[in-house]
């Protein structure tokens, strides 16, 4: 399948995934309110960081090396399961040594079990979705996430209208959902492939290259994680819990705007790593131009919908709209930055991504420390937007350096783009 076909296929499947996640987030916000959902997502933020630390970003190496044929699907799957078992064991039994810095009223044993379940489930999903995506198999994993999220949303709706479940029970369901998704996706992969594991298939040199690539991506991912989450800690410390809930929701709404670029980015990454057609850099630039136009239209609509968030999520989220509006410039360019990052990763130009994200993170930390204690949660939104804008221009600089793609070619549409969009819609209609 050509690049356009892969982009369309992944867009359709991942859209189902994200629609269900959006519905579930609405349900969580409605039932838990700003204070409760803020604390829940704050703890998830800690657990996500643990997943990032323990996964070693092997999914990045998987996405880079499997498409090129350097690594066997099944052998890397078994190695992934082995590593997840080791991490799960260390997480559970090493709980007293790493849990002290998590601020929560949850009982310690509850925290231990939920952390272990979340980490194992998330790592299973991350690794096996990476393997499936590297083989351009997008359907099943997204369907599983779609249906499990909808089922969980239904339980929240029952609780909202009929008080069917306690908050603690719903929280337990949320964590079990991560584990169920991971196990089902892993089992599907193992049963849909011929299981023929042999150490002869494991070329040591290739796995050393995978580990080297993954560890570099691991460093970059830690920096990227801090770039998008560091301000949570300061908002938690200097602002009210309701402000934290509003700010985390604003960030989640911002993520919706760059989820579609993230979908496309996963295809660009695997396709480029496979050694796809020479015009991939041009395709990235054209896609970014089309996205920029769509973003502007969406932002104008969102700007006018002042009461949208309180209507959908509840009255306690009264600051969310203003926080999202302040992030808008950064959201636009950060979304496009996903495409640039994917292309540079597929070309094994991780040093360019490392330099860009590190500079953006340093700028964010300095500005956050100065302004959040003074101006609160609104300063966090402005600083985030500034950091995302800086990141985009740094990535664009490296793209221009390596592939001679200028800033203008990333943002301003031309006549050929309009024809491309017209042809794309024509093909979609003809398929129906």
Q: What tokens does 82 get?
A: 């082995």
pLDDT band with cut points at 50, 70 and 90 for residue 432 = very low
Q: What tokens does 19 get?
A: 């629609």
Q: What tokens does 160 get?
A: 């909202």
Integer angstrom CA distances of residue 179 from 118, 184, 185, 394: 6, 9, 10, 37
Structure confidence by residue, pLDDT tens digits, 116-167: 999 999 999 999 998 888 887 878 888 899 999 999 999 999 988 888 788 8
The residues spanned by each domain of the chain are 1-55+72-202, 241-432
Query: Which 3-state string (H, E, C) describes 157-203?
Result: HHHHHHCCCCHHHHHHHHHHHHHHHHHHHHHHHHHCCCCCCCHHHCC
Q: Looking at residue 76, what is its pLDDT?
A: 84
CA–CA gap between residue 106 and residue 112 (Å, rounded): 10
Highest mean pLDDT range out of 4-8, 316-320, 424-428? 316-320
pLDDT band with cut points at 50, 70 and 90 for residue 242 = confident
Give the distance between the most distant pair of CA atoms in the chain: 61
Integer angstrom CA distances of residue 25 from 58, 159, 163: 28, 15, 18
Question: Residues of the chain with pLDDT > 70: what percent?
Answer: 87
pLDDT band with cut points at 50, 70 and 90 for residue 202 = low
pTM, whole model, 2 decimals?
0.76
- Select the more confidently predicted residue: 432 or 170: 170
Residue 196 reports pLDDT greater than 60: no
Residue 64 reports pLDDT greater than 50: yes
Residue 327 reports pLDDT greater than 80: yes
By mean pLDDT, which of 207-216, 293-302, 332-341 is the weakest?
293-302
Residue 414 reports pLDDT greater than 60: yes
Q: Looking at residue 191, what is its pLDDT?
A: 86
Q: What tokens does 202 get?
A: 């494991």
Q: Looking at residue 427, what is its pLDDT?
A: 57
- Average pLDDT (191-210) is 64
- Average pLDDT (165-182) is 92
Count the Cβ atoms, other than its own, within 10 Å of residue 160. Answer: 14
10 Å CB burial of residue 317 (0-12, 13-18, 19+) is buried
Residue 97 reports pLDDT greater than 70: yes
Highest mean pLDDT range out of 70-74, 105-109, 299-303? 105-109
User: What sections of 305-411 are H helices per DSSP?
Assistant: 308-313, 320-346, 350-375, 377-403, 407-411
10 Å CB burial of residue 207 (0-12, 13-18, 19+) is middle
- Average pLDDT (49-59) is 89
Question: Residues of the chain with pLDDT > 90: what percent?
Answer: 28
pLDDT band with cut points at 50, 70 and 90 for residue 45 = confident
CA–CA gap between residue 251 and residue 327 (Å, rounded): 9
pLDDT band with cut points at 50, 70 and 90 for residue 381 = very high
Q: Looking at residue 385, what is its pLDDT?
A: 94
- Average pLDDT (80-105) is 84
Q: Looking at residue 424, what is its pLDDT?
A: 59
By mean pLDDT, which of 96-105, 200-209, 243-252, 399-408 is the weakest?
200-209
Q: Looking at residue 384, what is its pLDDT?
A: 94
- Average pLDDT (364-370) is 95
Q: Looking at residue 8, what is its pLDDT?
A: 63
pLDDT band with cut points at 50, 70 and 90 for residue 178 = very high
CA–CA gap between residue 356 and residue 352 (Å, rounded): 6
Q: Looking at residue 338, what is its pLDDT?
A: 84
Residue 376 reports pLDDT greater than 60: yes
10 Å CB burial of residue 431 (0-12, 13-18, 19+) is exposed
Residue 279 reports pLDDT greater than 60: no
- Share the mean pLDDT of the chain: 83
- Average pLDDT (43-58) is 88
Residue 197 reports pLDDT greater than 50: no
């Amino acid at each position: 399948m050509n690049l356009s076909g892969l982009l369309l296929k992944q867009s359709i499947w991942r859209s189902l995934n994200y629609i269900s996640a959006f519905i579930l987030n609405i349900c969580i916000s409605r039932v838990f309110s700003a204070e409760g959902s803020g604390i829940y997502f704050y703890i998830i933020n800690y657990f996500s960081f643990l997943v990032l630390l323990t996964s070693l970003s092997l999914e990045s190496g998987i996405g880079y090396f499997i498409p090129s044929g350097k690594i066997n699907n099944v052998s890397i799957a078994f190695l992934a399961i082995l590593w997840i078992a080791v991490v799960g064991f260390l997480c559970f039994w090493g709980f007293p040594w790493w849990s002290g810095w998590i601020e929560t009223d949850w009982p310690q044993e509850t925290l231990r079990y939920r952390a272990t379940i979340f980490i194992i489930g998330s790592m299973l999903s991350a690794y096996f979705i990476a393997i499936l995506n590297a083989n351009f198999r997008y359907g099943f994993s997204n369907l599983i996430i779609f249906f499990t999220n909808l089922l969980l949303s239904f339980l929240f709706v029952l609780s909202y209208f009929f008080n069917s479940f306690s908050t603690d029970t719903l929280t337990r369901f949320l964590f079990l959902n991560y584990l169920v998704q991971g196990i089902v996706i892993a089992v599907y992969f193992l049963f849909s492939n011929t299981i023929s594991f042999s150490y002869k298939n494991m070329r040591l040199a290739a796995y050393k290259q995978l580990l080297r690539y993954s560890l570099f991506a691991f460093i970059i991912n830690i920096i990227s994680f801090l770039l998008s989450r560091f301000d949570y800690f300061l908002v938690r410390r200097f602002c009210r819990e309701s402000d934290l809930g509003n700010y985390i929701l604003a960030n989640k709404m911002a993520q919706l705007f760059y989820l579609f670029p993230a979908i496309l980015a996963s295809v660009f990454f695997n396709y480029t790593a496979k050694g796809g057609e020479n015009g991939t850099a041009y395709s990235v630039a054209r896609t970014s131009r089309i996205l920029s136009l769509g973003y502007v239209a969406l932002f104008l609509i969102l700007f006018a919908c002042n009461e949208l968030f309180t209507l959908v999520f509840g009255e306690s989220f009264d600051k969310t709209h203003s926080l999202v509006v302040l992030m808008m410039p950064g959201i636009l360019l950060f979304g496009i930055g996903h495409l640039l990052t994917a292309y540079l990763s597929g070309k094994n130009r991780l040093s360019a991504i490392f330099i860009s994200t590190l500079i953006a993170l340093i700028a964010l930390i300095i500005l956050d420390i100065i302004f959040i204690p003074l101006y609160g949660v609104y300063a966090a939104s402005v600083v985030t937007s500034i950091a995302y804008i800086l990141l985009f221009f740094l990535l664009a600089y490296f793209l221009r350096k390596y592939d001679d793609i200028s800033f203008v070619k990333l943002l301003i549409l031309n006549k050929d783009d309009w024809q491309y969009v017209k042809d794309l819609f024509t093909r979609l209609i003809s398929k129906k």
